[in-house]
């Protein structure tokens, strides 16, 4: 099913338009990053739902496609690309406009630092399989699990807020780095959505709060939101 929210960006002139199929789950923040990137580039893509709550990601059929048993996975013609940051890097090479990881200089460093702070330091600690392990084999209570989630998001957002503040050029701008959306914003918005799902008051971090609100008004971000996806299940 083609994502109705996306249209082809006339600024992009790729000679061959590969078939893009995103193995996706509406509430996956890693997949949400990729949905934003695809939309920013105006690429047409097909949603392939993977039902994480019923464990479809661990079934042999999906694991044959992605042995890690995680979404997202992007099929680009016959190639299977996993890991959201690698997928977005792939998309930058497939269709450079707009470039989501700046080519060089301090902006590139800042974008990658923010993206990796979120994708490597915050998100994995609160992933579904980690939380299941806490309440399953480790027998934590729901309250202890929630405290775990709030602790790691809080610690990470404290660092992120300070990083955003230290950016003299863009700390008060519309985007995490520079004057246009980048990979950093593709990571920030889904992580804020995760924080809200965990009932964390994101207003504690004014820059993160403001940048998220600004980005969510952009059509590419709005169309990628969980509630706009075909497999959305209301809470
Ligand atoms: N580092 C991976 C993380 C992927 C990931 O953790 N995906 C989650 C959803 S956000 C998942 O598939 N979880 C399934 C599970 O925990 O069983 C990426 O950036 O793509």
CATH code for position 76: 3.40.30.10
Q: Which atom of ligand 1 is nearest to the CA of 33?
A: 19
Domain membership flag for residue 228:
no
- Please provide the average confidence, as pLDDT, over all residues in the chain: 92
Q: Which is nearest to 195 in space by CA: 1, 68, 32, 77?
A: 32
- Predicted pLDDT of residue 167: 65
pLDDT band for position 235 (50/70/90)?
A: confident
Distance 13 CA to ligand 1 centre (A): 32
Q: Which atom of ligand 1 is nearest to the CA of 34?
A: 20
- Predicted pLDDT of residue 130: 98
On whether both 151 and 111 belong to a single domain, the answer is yes
Contact 113, 101 (CB under 8 A): no
On whether both 133 and 217 belong to a single domain, the answer is yes
On whether both 50 and 31 belong to a single domain, the answer is yes
On whether both 76 and 112 belong to a single domain, the answer is no
On whether both 123 and 159 belong to a single domain, the answer is yes
- Predicted pLDDT of residue 4: 38
On whether both 66 and 110 belong to a single domain, the answer is no
Query: Residues 12-28: pLDDT tens digits?
Result: 444 578 999 999 999 99
Q: Give the residue-averaged pLDDT of 188-209.
A: 97
Three-state SS at 175:
coil
- Predicted pLDDT of residue 166: 72
- Predicted pLDDT of residue 173: 83
Distance 33 CA to ligand 1 centre (A): 11
On whether both 76 and 150 belong to a single domain, the answer is no
On whether both 128 and 185 belong to a single domain, the answer is yes
Query: Residues 56-81: pLDDT tens digits?
Result: 999 999 999 999 999 999 999 999 99
The residues, any chain, with a CB within 8 Å of residue 203's CB and separated by 6 or more, are 209
On whether both 188 and 90 belong to a single domain, the answer is no
Q: Give the residue-averaged pLDDT of 101-121.
A: 97
Domain membership flag for residue 6:
no
Q: List own/partner pairs for 223-226 with CB under 8 A and 24 or more apart.
A: 223/3, 223/5, 223/6, 223/35, 223/39, 224/5, 224/32, 224/35, 224/36, 224/38, 224/39, 225/32, 225/193, 226/26, 226/27, 226/32, 226/193
Q: Domain tally for the chain?
A: 2
Q: Tell me which residue has its CA closest to atom 17 in ligand 1.
A: 129
Domain membership flag for residue 133:
yes
Q: Give the residue-averaged pLDDT of 149-155.
A: 98
Q: Give the residue-averaged pLDDT of 142-171.
A: 88
Domain membership flag for residue 140:
yes
pLDDT band for position 177 (50/70/90)?
A: very high
Domain membership flag for residue 66:
yes
Residue 81 pairs in a beta bridge with 74
On whether both 88 and 109 belong to a single domain, the answer is no
On whether both 69 and 159 belong to a single domain, the answer is no
From 23, 57, 71, the mutation candidate for ligand 1 (largest count of ligand atoms within 8 A of CB) is: 71
Distance 36 CA to ligand 1 centre (A): 16
Angle ∠(166,87,77) on CA atoms, nearest 5: 160
pLDDT band for position 1 (50/70/90)?
A: very low
Question: What CATH number should be reported for the domain holding residue 167?
Answer: 1.20.1050.10
Q: Of 83, 98, 113, which closes a domain?
A: 98
pLDDT band for position 168 (50/70/90)?
A: low
- Predicted pLDDT of residue 8: 42
Q: Give the residue-averaged pLDDT of 132-160.
A: 98
Distance 73 CA to ligand 1 centre (A): 10
Range of the domain at 93: 20-98
On whether both 82 and 127 belong to a single domain, the answer is no
With 60 as the cut, is the pLDDT of residue 9 above it?
no
pTM: 0.93
Q: Of 55, 81, 98, which closes a domain?
A: 98
Domain membership flag for residue 88:
yes
Q: Of 72, 98, 124, which closes a domain?
A: 98
Domain membership flag for residue 10:
no
């Amino acid at each position: 099913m083609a994502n109705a929210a996306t249209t082809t960006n006339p600024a992009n002139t790729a000679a061959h338009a590969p078939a893009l199929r995103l193995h996706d789950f509406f509430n996956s923040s890693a997949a949400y990053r990729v949905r934003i990137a695809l939309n920013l580039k105006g690429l047409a893509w097909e949603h392939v739902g993977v039902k994480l709550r019923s464990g479809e990601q661990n079934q042999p059929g999906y694991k044959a496609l992605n042995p890690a048993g995680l979404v997202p996975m992007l099929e680009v013609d016959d190639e299977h690309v996993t890991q959201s940051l690698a997928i977005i890097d792939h998309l930058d090479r497939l269709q450079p406009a707009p470039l989501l990881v700046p080519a060089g200089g301090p902006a590139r460093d800042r974008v990658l630092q923010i993206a990796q702070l979120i994708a490597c330091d915050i998100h994995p600690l609160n992933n579904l399989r980690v939380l299941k392990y806490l309440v399953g084999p480790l027998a934590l209570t729901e309250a202890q699990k929630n405290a775990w989630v709030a602790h790691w998001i809080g610690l990470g957002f404290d660092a992120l807020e300070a990083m955003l503040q230290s950016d003299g050029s863009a700390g008060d701008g519309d985007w995490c780095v520079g004057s246009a959306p980048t990979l950093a914003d593709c990571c920030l918005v889904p992580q804020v959505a995760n924080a809200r799902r965990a009932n964390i008051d994101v207003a504690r971090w004014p820059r993160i709060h403001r940048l998220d609100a600004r980005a969510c008004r952009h059509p590419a971000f709005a169309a990628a939101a969980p509630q706009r996806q075909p497999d959305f299940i209301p809470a």
